[in-house]
Amino acid sequence: MKKHLMEKFINVFGNNKNAKVYFAPGRVNLIGEHTDYNGGHVFPCALSIGTYAVARKREDNLLRFYSTNFKRLGIIECSLDNLVYNKADRWTNYPKGVIWALKKKGYNVTTGMDILYHGNIPNGSGLSSSASIEILTGFVLKDMYNFSFDSIENALIGQFAENNYNKVNCGIMDQFAISMGKKNHAIFLDTANLEYNYVPITLENEQIVIMNTCKKRGLGESKYNERRAECEEALKELQSVINIENLGQLTEELFEEHKNAINSSVRTKRAKHAVYENQRTIKAVTALKNNDIAQFGKLMNDSHESLKNDYEVTGIELDTLVAEAQKAPGVLGARMTGAGFGGCAVAIVHKDYIDTFKTQVGTAYKEKIGYPCEFYVVDTSDGPTIL
């Protein structure tokens, strides 16, 4: 891959003098969806698929970006002196946003760059291609300019860029999972205070399989911000009767005791999902530590049910994939993953049944939806690295 990317860089930028190759993973969240901006727990892992970059410094202020995934757009240029968001700059607003965020945080990028990106995360799939680019860009710049921030700070810079430059009101999970990834582990993260620990994923006979609906999903255009606002309003209503800072502080029992303070049946459902999903995540991690994979799978199934009925972020494509997966032989559990409204689902499948699983689920999906889905059998990965 390194040799291939260096050759691409030469084709695009003329030569590869002083260029280096970097990689940052994508991520999948095993359980704990739409909890991260509600002060709850999440349980993601970094993936063996992700984003590569070949980068080098320039002697002027010009930034030249190129992606092998968007060849028809060619090289997109801007200047360090003009880092304003521009819709016409398309995907480059993610790396631009990181450079902008670094400057805001006091890390001054002093020269321009030539940088080529290559991703093998399906774009718009919900496996965090945007966060992967952000973390990768921060990692590249840290290396090139000897910046002193650590991996957690890199995650926070990426989130700051997405929130304030690209105007997507995301939580910290995606950037944190990618920046802090550890092979053969998932990260049990308390998003309220960033306390975390690594939990070994010991799947002796099973494999993580990601199922892509192939329905593109853009976070900014989705109902993501609407759901977040509904939870914030529900929280304010609950705070009138109970002293809490976020929904993640509630147990199921406390929520049921005080839910009548929420003056909307829709907001009650949204808050219920946030509370119950957080508790499911805590229980799922306990199950994994006890090597109870069957219980972990059941909690994944329950998670999807809540995302479908209480949070209403699934849709026919995800619901079809998950329903077909859950009834396939060798499957311990399946659920949508990511923000929803398209994108991907994740299943834990016995290794002996993976081919049968792909055939059975793929055939049923195409019959109902009218176009094929895609499957990725993935491994866990470390965070960003220099190749």
Residues 83-92: b if buried by 16+ CB within 10 A, e if exposed: beeeeebebb
Half-sphere exposure for 98 (CA within 13 Å, toward CB): 24
Q: What is the Cα 297 distance to its own chain's centre? A: 20
* Rounded Cα gap, residues 259 and 206, in angstroms: 39
Among positive and negative, which fits the CA dihedral 294, 298, 304, 307? negative
Sheet bearing 44-57, strands edge to edge: 76-79, 62-67, 113-119, 44-57, 20-29, 385-386
- Is 382 known to be catalytic? no
Residue 216's nearest CA partner among 344, 326, 110 is 344
Contacts of 364 (CB under 8 A, 6+ apart): 320, 324
* Rounded Cα gap, residues 5 and 19, in angstroms: 11
Tokens of 203: 């799947």
Pairing of strands 44-57, 113-119: antiparallel
* Rounded Cα gap, residues 341 and 374, in angstroms: 16
3-state helix, strand, coil in the chain (%, to 5): 45, 20, 30
* Rounded Cα gap, residues 330 and 342, in angstroms: 25
Residue 30's nearest CA partner among 297, 240, 267, 268 is 297
Start-to-end Cα distance in the chain: 9
Identified catalytic residue from 174, 190, 302, 352: 174
Hey, which residues are catalytic here? 174
